[in-house]
Amino acid sequence: MFSQTQKQFIEEGDLAIVWLGKGKLTPIVLNSTETLHNQFGAYPHSELIGKRYGQQIASSSKQGFIYLLHPTPELWTLALPHRTQIVYTPDVSAIVQKLRIVEGSRVIEAGTGSGSMTHALSRTIGPTGKLYTFEYHETRYQTALKEFTDHKMMEDVGGNTVLTHRDVCKQGFVLKESSPEDIHSVFLDLPAPWEAIEHLGPCLRKNGGTRICCFSPCMEQVQRTVQSLRENKWTEIQMIRLDHKLWMARKTRDMDIEEALDRLRFVKRKRLDGLERRRQRQLQENNTADDDSSETQTTVVEEPRAPSPTLPATNKRIREGDEAYNWINVCKLESEVKSHTSYLLFALHLPSANEQNTAEVVSAEKESD
Protein backbone atom coordinates (compact mmCIF):
# COMPACT_ATOMS: atom_id res chain seq x y z
CA MET A 1 0.00 0.00 0.00
CA PHE A 2 2.85 2.40 0.81
CA SER A 3 5.02 1.06 -2.02
CA GLN A 4 6.79 3.21 -4.62
CA THR A 5 4.17 2.42 -7.26
CA GLN A 6 1.05 4.56 -7.00
CA LYS A 7 -2.46 3.78 -8.20
CA GLN A 8 -4.10 6.12 -10.71
CA PHE A 9 -7.74 5.75 -9.67
CA ILE A 10 -9.54 5.60 -6.31
CA GLU A 11 -11.18 2.25 -5.54
CA GLU A 12 -13.51 0.84 -2.86
CA GLY A 13 -11.47 -0.21 0.22
CA ASP A 14 -8.51 2.08 -0.58
CA LEU A 15 -6.81 4.05 2.18
CA ALA A 16 -6.54 7.65 0.96
CA ILE A 17 -5.22 10.83 2.55
CA VAL A 18 -7.76 13.63 2.26
CA TRP A 19 -6.46 17.17 1.86
CA LEU A 20 -9.09 19.38 3.55
CA GLY A 21 -7.12 22.64 3.55
CA LYS A 22 -3.62 23.98 4.23
CA GLY A 23 -2.05 21.69 6.86
CA LYS A 24 -5.32 19.73 7.27
CA LEU A 25 -4.91 16.10 6.26
CA THR A 26 -6.93 13.13 7.40
CA PRO A 27 -6.91 9.43 6.41
CA ILE A 28 -10.07 7.69 5.17
CA VAL A 29 -10.87 4.19 3.94
CA LEU A 30 -13.22 4.33 0.94
CA ASN A 31 -16.57 2.68 1.69
CA SER A 32 -19.39 3.41 -0.75
CA THR A 33 -22.01 3.46 2.03
CA GLU A 34 -20.27 6.32 3.90
CA THR A 35 -20.05 10.09 3.46
CA LEU A 36 -17.27 12.49 4.41
CA HIS A 37 -18.44 15.83 5.86
CA ASN A 38 -16.68 19.10 6.52
CA GLN A 39 -17.85 22.71 6.98
CA PHE A 40 -18.15 23.17 3.21
CA GLY A 41 -20.46 20.25 2.58
CA ALA A 42 -20.74 16.52 2.04
CA TYR A 43 -18.64 14.14 -0.07
CA PRO A 44 -20.36 10.73 -0.50
CA HIS A 45 -17.61 8.09 -0.89
CA SER A 46 -19.59 6.65 -3.82
CA GLU A 47 -18.82 9.90 -5.70
CA LEU A 48 -15.13 9.75 -4.77
CA ILE A 49 -14.62 6.17 -6.00
CA GLY A 50 -13.49 6.11 -9.62
CA LYS A 51 -11.94 9.59 -9.48
CA ARG A 52 -8.25 10.09 -10.18
CA TYR A 53 -5.89 10.46 -7.18
CA GLY A 54 -4.89 14.13 -6.85
CA GLN A 55 -7.92 15.42 -8.76
CA GLN A 56 -9.86 18.33 -7.20
CA ILE A 57 -13.27 17.11 -5.97
CA ALA A 58 -16.12 19.58 -5.24
CA SER A 59 -18.55 19.07 -2.34
CA SER A 60 -22.18 18.25 -3.20
CA SER A 61 -23.13 21.88 -2.40
CA LYS A 62 -20.23 23.09 -4.65
CA GLN A 63 -19.11 25.37 -1.83
CA GLY A 64 -15.82 23.66 -1.11
CA PHE A 65 -13.36 21.13 -2.48
CA ILE A 66 -10.93 18.46 -1.35
CA TYR A 67 -8.17 16.34 -2.87
CA LEU A 68 -7.74 12.61 -2.28
CA LEU A 69 -4.05 11.68 -2.29
CA HIS A 70 -2.40 8.30 -2.63
CA PRO A 71 -0.82 7.44 0.76
CA THR A 72 2.94 7.79 1.15
CA PRO A 73 4.92 7.61 4.42
CA GLU A 74 5.42 11.40 4.17
CA LEU A 75 1.66 12.08 3.95
CA TRP A 76 0.92 9.43 6.59
CA THR A 77 3.26 11.24 9.02
CA LEU A 78 1.15 14.39 8.60
CA ALA A 79 -2.22 12.60 8.84
CA LEU A 80 -1.68 9.70 11.27
CA PRO A 81 -3.51 9.36 14.60
CA HIS A 82 -0.93 10.39 17.23
CA ARG A 83 -0.34 7.96 20.09
CA THR A 84 3.07 9.43 21.00
CA GLN A 85 5.52 12.08 19.85
CA ILE A 86 6.53 11.17 16.31
CA VAL A 87 9.51 11.56 14.03
CA TYR A 88 8.74 13.99 11.17
CA THR A 89 9.94 13.71 7.59
CA PRO A 90 12.92 16.16 7.80
CA ASP A 91 14.42 14.03 10.61
CA VAL A 92 13.37 10.76 8.93
CA SER A 93 15.23 11.65 5.74
CA ALA A 94 18.42 12.65 7.62
CA ILE A 95 18.30 9.44 9.68
CA VAL A 96 17.67 7.16 6.69
CA GLN A 97 20.50 8.79 4.74
CA LYS A 98 23.04 8.75 7.60
CA LEU A 99 22.17 5.14 8.54
CA ARG A 100 22.61 4.29 4.83
CA ILE A 101 19.28 2.43 4.76
CA VAL A 102 18.51 1.25 1.25
CA GLU A 103 16.39 -1.35 -0.54
CA GLY A 104 17.20 -4.72 1.05
CA SER A 105 18.52 -3.36 4.40
CA ARG A 106 17.85 -5.24 7.63
CA VAL A 107 16.78 -2.77 10.32
CA ILE A 108 15.85 -2.75 14.03
CA GLU A 109 13.55 -0.04 15.41
CA ALA A 110 12.47 0.56 19.06
CA GLY A 111 9.96 1.86 20.13
CA THR A 112 7.34 1.72 17.47
CA GLY A 113 5.21 4.50 19.02
CA SER A 114 2.76 5.91 16.45
CA GLY A 115 4.50 4.14 13.57
CA SER A 116 5.59 7.27 11.71
CA MET A 117 9.19 6.07 11.38
CA THR A 118 8.07 2.46 10.82
CA HIS A 119 6.15 3.42 7.65
CA ALA A 120 9.16 5.30 6.26
CA LEU A 121 11.59 2.46 7.06
CA SER A 122 9.28 -0.23 5.68
CA ARG A 123 8.86 1.64 2.37
CA THR A 124 12.62 2.37 2.06
CA ILE A 125 13.85 -1.21 2.58
CA GLY A 126 11.27 -2.57 0.11
CA PRO A 127 10.23 -6.21 -0.38
CA THR A 128 13.78 -7.59 -0.03
CA GLY A 129 14.52 -5.87 3.30
CA LYS A 130 13.42 -6.74 6.82
CA LEU A 131 12.30 -4.45 9.64
CA TYR A 132 12.10 -5.61 13.28
CA THR A 133 10.16 -3.10 15.37
CA PHE A 134 9.55 -3.34 19.15
CA GLU A 135 6.92 -1.71 21.38
CA TYR A 136 6.35 -2.44 25.09
CA HIS A 137 3.09 -0.51 25.61
CA GLU A 138 0.26 -3.07 25.21
CA THR A 139 -2.37 -0.73 23.67
CA ARG A 140 0.13 0.95 21.34
CA TYR A 141 1.38 -2.47 20.28
CA GLN A 142 -2.19 -3.71 19.52
CA THR A 143 -3.05 -0.51 17.60
CA ALA A 144 0.18 -0.69 15.58
CA LEU A 145 -0.44 -4.40 14.85
CA LYS A 146 -3.87 -3.64 13.36
CA GLU A 147 -2.60 -0.60 11.47
CA PHE A 148 0.45 -2.38 9.99
CA THR A 149 -1.72 -5.37 9.03
CA ASP A 150 -4.28 -3.09 7.33
CA HIS A 151 -1.40 -1.36 5.53
CA LYS A 152 0.00 -4.74 4.34
CA MET A 153 3.31 -4.13 6.12
CA MET A 154 3.33 -7.21 8.38
CA GLU A 155 5.22 -10.31 7.24
CA ASP A 156 2.16 -12.58 7.48
CA VAL A 157 0.29 -10.42 4.93
CA GLY A 158 3.22 -10.30 2.50
CA GLY A 159 5.07 -7.31 4.03
CA ASN A 160 8.58 -6.87 5.42
CA THR A 161 7.83 -5.92 9.05
CA VAL A 162 8.00 -7.97 12.27
CA LEU A 163 6.32 -6.18 15.20
CA THR A 164 7.07 -7.54 18.69
CA HIS A 165 5.47 -6.67 22.03
CA ARG A 166 8.51 -6.42 24.30
CA ASP A 167 10.56 -4.26 26.66
CA VAL A 168 13.87 -4.14 24.79
CA CYS A 169 15.71 -2.64 27.78
CA LYS A 170 14.94 -5.73 29.86
CA GLN A 171 14.46 -8.53 27.31
CA GLY A 172 16.67 -7.37 24.44
CA PHE A 173 16.06 -8.03 20.74
CA VAL A 174 16.58 -11.79 20.27
CA LEU A 175 13.37 -13.58 19.19
CA LYS A 176 12.42 -17.26 19.43
CA GLU A 177 11.78 -17.56 15.71
CA SER A 178 13.44 -15.64 12.91
CA SER A 179 15.55 -13.54 15.28
CA PRO A 180 17.10 -10.30 13.96
CA GLU A 181 20.63 -11.10 12.77
CA ASP A 182 23.11 -9.42 10.50
CA ILE A 183 21.44 -6.05 11.10
CA HIS A 184 22.63 -3.10 8.97
CA SER A 185 20.98 -0.29 10.95
CA VAL A 186 19.37 0.36 14.32
CA PHE A 187 17.04 3.24 15.20
CA LEU A 188 16.26 3.82 18.90
CA ASP A 189 13.58 6.35 19.90
CA LEU A 190 13.30 5.38 23.58
CA PRO A 191 13.50 7.28 26.89
CA ALA A 192 16.51 5.18 27.98
CA PRO A 193 18.37 3.99 24.83
CA TRP A 194 21.52 3.31 26.90
CA GLU A 195 19.71 0.39 28.58
CA ALA A 196 18.92 -1.20 25.18
CA ILE A 197 22.35 -0.80 23.51
CA GLU A 198 24.04 -3.57 25.52
CA HIS A 199 21.42 -6.07 24.23
CA LEU A 200 22.18 -5.42 20.55
CA GLY A 201 25.31 -7.63 20.42
CA PRO A 202 23.78 -10.84 18.94
CA CYS A 203 22.01 -8.87 16.17
CA LEU A 204 25.03 -6.95 14.84
CA ARG A 205 26.80 -7.81 11.60
CA LYS A 206 29.85 -10.09 11.88
CA ASN A 207 30.88 -9.41 8.30
CA GLY A 208 30.62 -5.65 8.17
CA GLY A 209 29.46 -2.57 10.01
CA THR A 210 26.18 -1.79 11.76
CA ARG A 211 25.05 1.82 12.12
CA ILE A 212 22.90 3.19 14.92
CA CYS A 213 20.89 6.38 15.49
CA CYS A 214 19.47 7.32 18.91
CA PHE A 215 16.83 10.06 18.90
CA SER A 216 16.85 11.93 22.24
CA PRO A 217 15.30 15.25 23.24
CA CYS A 218 17.78 16.20 25.97
CA MET A 219 21.55 16.41 26.42
CA GLU A 220 21.60 14.32 29.62
CA GLN A 221 20.14 11.39 27.64
CA VAL A 222 22.71 11.95 24.89
CA GLN A 223 25.57 11.84 27.44
CA ARG A 224 24.39 8.57 28.99
CA THR A 225 23.89 7.06 25.52
CA VAL A 226 27.40 8.09 24.41
CA GLN A 227 28.81 6.38 27.50
CA SER A 228 26.91 3.19 26.73
CA LEU A 229 27.95 3.28 23.05
CA ARG A 230 31.62 3.57 24.09
CA GLU A 231 31.31 0.73 26.62
CA ASN A 232 29.79 -1.48 23.93
CA LYS A 233 32.56 -0.71 21.39
CA TRP A 234 30.67 1.61 19.05
CA THR A 235 32.90 4.08 17.20
CA GLU A 236 32.61 7.21 15.02
CA ILE A 237 30.17 8.68 17.55
CA GLN A 238 28.66 11.86 16.19
CA MET A 239 25.74 14.04 17.28
CA ILE A 240 23.72 16.38 15.09
CA ARG A 241 20.68 18.58 15.68
CA LEU A 242 18.54 19.52 12.73
CA ASP A 243 17.07 23.00 12.48
CA HIS A 244 14.35 22.86 9.84
CA LYS A 245 13.62 26.13 8.10
CA LEU A 246 11.57 26.76 5.01
CA TRP A 247 12.78 29.82 3.13
CA MET A 248 10.24 31.74 1.04
CA ALA A 249 10.94 34.25 -1.72
CA ARG A 250 8.81 37.33 -0.91
CA LYS A 251 8.69 41.08 -1.61
CA THR A 252 8.82 43.93 0.87
CA ARG A 253 7.81 47.59 0.23
CA ASP A 254 10.67 49.91 -0.64
CA MET A 255 9.59 53.12 1.20
CA ASP A 256 11.39 56.44 1.55
CA ILE A 257 12.19 57.55 5.08
CA GLU A 258 9.26 60.03 5.35
CA GLU A 259 6.72 57.43 4.26
CA ALA A 260 8.17 54.88 6.68
CA LEU A 261 7.99 57.41 9.55
CA ASP A 262 4.37 58.26 8.63
CA ARG A 263 3.54 54.60 8.76
CA LEU A 264 5.16 54.19 12.22
CA ARG A 265 3.29 57.29 13.52
CA PHE A 266 0.03 55.90 12.11
CA VAL A 267 0.54 52.54 13.85
CA LYS A 268 1.45 54.26 17.14
CA ARG A 269 -1.60 56.57 16.93
CA LYS A 270 -3.94 53.62 16.23
CA ARG A 271 -2.59 51.85 19.30
CA LEU A 272 -3.01 54.90 21.55
CA ASP A 273 -6.55 55.47 20.20
CA GLY A 274 -7.41 51.87 21.02
CA LEU A 275 -6.06 52.22 24.58
CA GLU A 276 -7.97 55.47 25.08
CA ARG A 277 -11.24 53.93 23.83
CA ARG A 278 -10.76 51.00 26.21
CA ARG A 279 -10.16 53.40 29.12
CA GLN A 280 -13.32 55.38 28.26
CA ARG A 281 -15.39 52.18 28.04
CA GLN A 282 -14.12 51.04 31.43
CA LEU A 283 -15.00 54.45 32.92
CA GLN A 284 -18.48 54.27 31.44
CA GLU A 285 -19.05 50.75 32.83
CA ASN A 286 -17.91 51.84 36.31
CA ASN A 287 -20.22 54.88 36.16
CA THR A 288 -23.19 52.74 35.10
CA ALA A 289 -22.53 50.35 38.01
CA ASP A 290 -22.41 53.29 40.47
CA ASP A 291 -25.56 54.85 38.95
CA ASP A 292 -27.59 51.68 39.44
CA SER A 293 -27.87 52.66 43.13
CA SER A 294 -28.12 56.48 42.77
CA GLU A 295 -30.31 56.33 39.59
CA THR A 296 -28.45 59.29 38.07
CA GLN A 297 -26.94 59.04 34.59
CA THR A 298 -23.59 60.45 33.52
CA THR A 299 -22.41 59.82 29.98
CA VAL A 300 -18.73 60.04 29.19
CA VAL A 301 -18.42 61.46 25.71
CA GLU A 302 -15.32 60.59 23.75
CA GLU A 303 -13.46 63.71 22.58
CA PRO A 304 -13.02 63.64 18.80
CA ARG A 305 -9.34 63.80 17.89
CA ALA A 306 -7.90 66.02 15.21
CA PRO A 307 -6.29 63.83 12.55
CA SER A 308 -2.51 64.07 12.42
CA PRO A 309 -1.37 65.95 9.31
CA THR A 310 1.27 63.29 8.69
CA LEU A 311 -1.16 60.32 8.74
CA PRO A 312 -1.89 58.59 5.47
CA ALA A 313 -5.49 59.18 4.37
CA THR A 314 -6.43 55.50 4.58
CA ASN A 315 -4.85 52.40 5.99
CA LYS A 316 -5.78 50.29 2.98
CA ARG A 317 -3.99 46.99 2.56
CA ILE A 318 -1.50 46.95 -0.28
CA ARG A 319 -1.30 43.75 -2.28
CA GLU A 320 2.25 42.30 -2.33
CA GLY A 321 3.80 43.15 -5.68
CA ASP A 322 1.25 45.97 -6.49
CA GLU A 323 2.85 47.75 -9.47
CA ALA A 324 1.97 51.20 -8.10
CA TYR A 325 4.71 50.78 -5.48
CA ASN A 326 8.41 49.87 -5.39
CA TRP A 327 9.36 46.42 -4.04
CA ILE A 328 12.55 44.68 -2.90
CA ASN A 329 12.95 40.90 -3.20
CA VAL A 330 13.64 39.33 0.21
CA CYS A 331 13.81 35.93 1.92
CA LYS A 332 11.40 35.17 4.75
CA LEU A 333 11.16 32.17 7.05
CA GLU A 334 8.09 29.97 7.16
CA SER A 335 7.72 29.21 10.88
CA GLU A 336 5.39 26.25 10.56
CA VAL A 337 7.56 23.39 9.36
CA LYS A 338 6.48 20.45 11.49
CA SER A 339 9.34 18.82 13.34
CA HIS A 340 10.24 17.88 16.86
CA THR A 341 13.65 19.10 17.89
CA SER A 342 15.84 16.30 19.15
CA TYR A 343 19.46 15.34 19.16
CA LEU A 344 20.41 12.63 16.68
CA LEU A 345 23.29 10.53 17.92
CA PHE A 346 24.97 8.33 15.32
CA ALA A 347 27.62 5.62 15.70
CA LEU A 348 29.15 2.69 13.86
CA HIS A 349 29.91 -0.82 15.14
CA LEU A 350 32.56 -2.92 13.43
CA PRO A 351 33.13 -6.58 14.30
CA SER A 352 36.37 -7.47 16.08
CA ALA A 353 39.03 -9.30 14.01
CA ASN A 354 38.07 -12.57 15.78
CA GLU A 355 34.37 -12.20 14.99
CA GLN A 356 35.17 -11.35 11.38
CA ASN A 357 37.46 -14.40 10.96
CA THR A 358 34.81 -16.70 12.44
CA ALA A 359 32.15 -15.18 10.17
CA GLU A 360 34.36 -15.75 7.11
CA VAL A 361 34.97 -19.41 8.08
CA VAL A 362 31.22 -19.97 8.64
CA SER A 363 30.29 -18.39 5.31
CA ALA A 364 33.03 -20.40 3.48
CA GLU A 365 31.65 -23.59 5.09
CA LYS A 366 28.12 -22.67 4.02
CA GLU A 367 29.29 -22.10 0.45
CA SER A 368 31.13 -25.45 0.30
CA ASP A 369 28.03 -27.30 1.67
Task: By CB under 6 A, name the binding residues for ligand SAM.
Answer: 84-87, 110-111, 113-117, 134-137, 140, 167-169, 189-191
- Smallest distance from ligand SAM to CB 349, Å: 20
Cβ 140 vs Cβ 190: under 8 Å? no
Greatest alpha-carbon pair distance for the chain in Å reads 110
Give whichever of 10 and 168 is closer to ligand SAM, judged by the CB atom.
168
- Smallest distance from ligand SAM to CB 119, Å: 9
189 annotated as a binding-site residue = yes
- Smallest distance from ligand SAM to CB 282, Å: 48
Cβ 68 vs Cβ 20: under 8 Å? no
- Smallest distance from ligand SAM to CB 165, Å: 9
167 annotated as a binding-site residue = no
Cβ 262 vs Cβ 336: under 8 Å? no
Q: How would DSSP label each residue in 207-265?
A: SS-EEEEEEESSHHHHHHHHHHHHHTT-EEEEEEE----EEEEEEEE---HHHHHHHHH
Cβ 39 vs Cβ 86: under 8 Å? no
Tell me whether the omega of the peptide bond preceding residue 111 falls within 30 degrees of 0, making it cis. yes
Give whichever of 66 and 125 is closer to ligand SAM, judged by the CB atom.
125
- Smallest distance from ligand SAM to CB 136, Å: 4
Give whichever of 110 and 154 is closer to ligand SAM, judged by the CB atom.
110
Give whichever of 57 and 120 is closer to ligand SAM, judged by the CB atom.
120
Cβ 78 vs Cβ 338: under 8 Å? yes
- Residue 175: is it exposed, middle or buried by C-beta count within 10 angstroms (0-12/13-18/19+)? middle
- Smallest distance from ligand SAM to CB 11, Å: 28
Position closest to ligand SAM via CB:
111
Give whichever of 84 and 280 is closer to ligand SAM, judged by the CB atom.
84
DSSP summary character for residue 341:
-
With CA atoms as reference, report the closest residue to 46 among 33, 29, 63: 33
Note the Cα 52 to chain centre separation in Å. Answer: 26
Residue set of the binding site for S-adenosyl-L-methionine: 135, 189
Residue set of the binding site: 135, 189
